[in-house]
Amino acid sequence: MEQALLAWFGAQDADLPWRRTRDPYAILVSEVMLQQTQVSRVVPRYEAWLERWPDVQALATASPAHVIREWQGLGYNRRGLNLHRAARAIAAQGWPDDLTELPGVGPYTAAAVRAFALGEAVLPRDTNVLRIEERTGHRFDPSCGQALMDLGRTVCLARVPRCDECPLAERCPSRGRRYEPLRKQSRFEGSFRQRRSAMLRLIAESPRPLEELDGEAVEALERDGLVATANGTVRLPA
């Protein structure tokens, strides 16, 4: 299966900017941004981020407020703050042997940095990779990491896979199946996530009196380190 998959991947020519580098920092930035965010949205933000903060030291010296503002629109703002905290940890102590010691870095992200930046023979297993392995009943080797991610993102989709376009279809026992969603994503409109997001946007524009804001949302943002309150005024962390 590896041969058919890699031949398909080679013909796709998906020229993504993080595939042109082996810089661990750049790979870490891309992987954190790509969590639950579409590739098309990430590309321009990734390029802008690296233009502003091209290395770990540059990001480590930035203020949390600048990082939060730059992250606006990518969603899940804690990811940006954790990336900043990771940069500060690396700048102070170097890259740890166990990358999961870095803030916000779990087993998948650590494996991605090891594979795509450090060249280690590990296969990062994200949702796409796990789905393909489950459907095919095949454990792929580390050379297939990027190919599997592209296949899962464009062909072996979660609900209605495009089996007619799949290079693995001939040997796939799940060919032609359709799938129910594992869970329905909660609506953003009217949700507490929307309230948090609205408050963070306001506070990112300028400090605001607490009495004018959604107190519950502000409290949640403060617990995550995204805002700070002093003397009745809420602002981004210094």
| Residue 212 is a catalytic residue | no
**Alpha carbons 24 and 85: distance in angstroms, whole number:** 16
**Alpha carbons 59 and 87: distance in angstroms, whole number:** 6
Half-sphere exposure of 24 toward its Cβ, with a 13 Å CA cutoff? Answer: 21
Nearest Cα neighbor of 102 from 59, 68, 141, 65 is 59
* Backbone angles phi and psi of 98, in degrees to 5: -100, 105
The sign of the CA dihedral 53, 58, 60, 65 is negative
Q: Which of 2, 31, 70, 180 is catalytic?
A: 31
Identity at 171, one-letter amino acid code: R
135 touches 174 (CB < 8 A): yes
Identity at 61, one-letter amino acid code: T
DSSP result, 161-193:
--GGG-TTGGG-TTTT-----SSPPPPSTTSHH
- Catalytic residue set: 31
